[in-house]
Amino acid sequence: MTPAIAPLPRVMVAPNGARRQKADHSALPVTVAEVVDCAIACHAAGAGGLHAHVRDASGAHVLDAGLYAELLAELARRAPSLFVQVTTEAVGRYSAAKQRKLVLDLKPPAVSIALREILSDGDEAANARLFAFCDEAGIAVQHILFTPEEATQLVGLVARGIVPKRGLQVLHVLGRYTPGQVSSPADLDAPLATGEALAADWAVCAFGPAETACLAEAVRRGGKARVGFENNLHNADGRIARDNAERVAEVVAAIGAAEV
């Protein structure tokens, strides 16, 4: 029997990303042990899932199956109910082939894959095999979409059978990884209008002090939220957050207030 694909949690924390360092915030987790401790604190604050990046000894983002396996094993031991998603983010360092290899070697429970990165080498057959492998293994694949045009592209891939429809998950990125980026709830309109045909389990991430408002609005519209220091260090009032758990707590409270 084909394993079920776990749905996205309502709130997922992205505590470090691929770019920021301790110099950006002293509470940014870098080592596996720090990511585990941070994930547990964020779980207690209301996050149902972790979007995980691992770093090498120098603090650089790496697609390292061994480090990811260590992280997954420790979280399975200490936080067994937490949804854990690894990433294949390239950050200009990794080819599409290396991204595919990570997933095939690691066989994680969940993975995020930027559509533009995995399609970059034009090897449609390899991508079809990757996505079929994930579907058969019950690996939850979240497709990262940076533009409405990429949502349209994904619609076509699903229609052609390159990307399975079962358990389809997406993340709409409201903005770009650029200095000073600030997102707005109005940024939801275009990707949601284009992505409506996907009928996917969808979530949003955003940048800057309006992150909380963007995520609460996404949940109000039927989506889910990804919050954390990967994209934003600020609370809604403009203060730098104490840690990722404080960001999670603020977003969970905002979602709850919007539902009253």
Average pLDDT over residues 138-162: 96
In a domain, 4, yes or no: no
Question: Does the residue 113 lie in any domain?
Answer: yes
Mean pLDDT (whole number) for 46-50: 98
180 pLDDT above the threshold of 70: no
Note the pLDDT of residue 179. 61
Closest CA to 186 of 204, 168, 201, 200: 204
Say if 225 falls within a structural domain. yes
The yes-or-no verdict on residue 177 having pLDDT over 70 is no
pLDDT at residue 183, rounded to an integer: 84
* Mean pLDDT, range 248-257, rounded to an integer: 97
In this predicted model, what pLDDT tens digit does every residue of 153-176 receive, in sequence order? 999 999 999 999 999 999 999 976
* DSSP label of 123: -
Residue 3 lies in a domain: no
Average pLDDT over residues 177-185: 70
Give the pLDDT band of residue 182 (cuts 50, 70, 90). confident
* Residue 5: inside a domain: no
In the predicted model, is pLDDT for residue 36 greater than 70? Answer: yes
Domain count, the chain: 1
Q: Which domain holds residue 134?
A: 11-259
Q: 180 or 234: which carries more pLDDT confidence?
A: 234
Which pLDDT does position 181 carry in this prediction? 66
- Summarised one tens digit per residue, pLDDT across range 189-205 is 998 888 888 999 999 99
Does 1 reside within a domain?
no
Check which CATH number belongs to the domain holding 172 and give it. 3.20.20.70
Q: What's the confidence (pLDDT) of residue 31?
A: 98
For the stretch 84-114, pLDDT in tens is 999 999 999 999 999 999 999 999 999 999 9
Average pLDDT over residues 42-67: 98
Integer Cα distance of 224 and 205 in angstroms = 9
**Residues whose CB is less than 8 angstroms from the CB of residue 103 and which lie 6 or more positions away in sequence, other chains included:** 88, 111, 113, 130, 133, 134, 139
The set of long-range contacts for 147-155, using a CB threshold of 8 Å and a minimum separation of 24, is: 147/191, 148/190, 148/191, 148/193, 148/194, 148/195, 149/194, 150/115, 150/116, 151/191, 151/194, 151/195, 151/198, 152/194, 153/115, 153/119, 154/115, 154/195, 154/198, 155/195, 155/197, 155/198
Domain assignment present for residue 160? The answer is: yes
135 part of a folded domain: yes
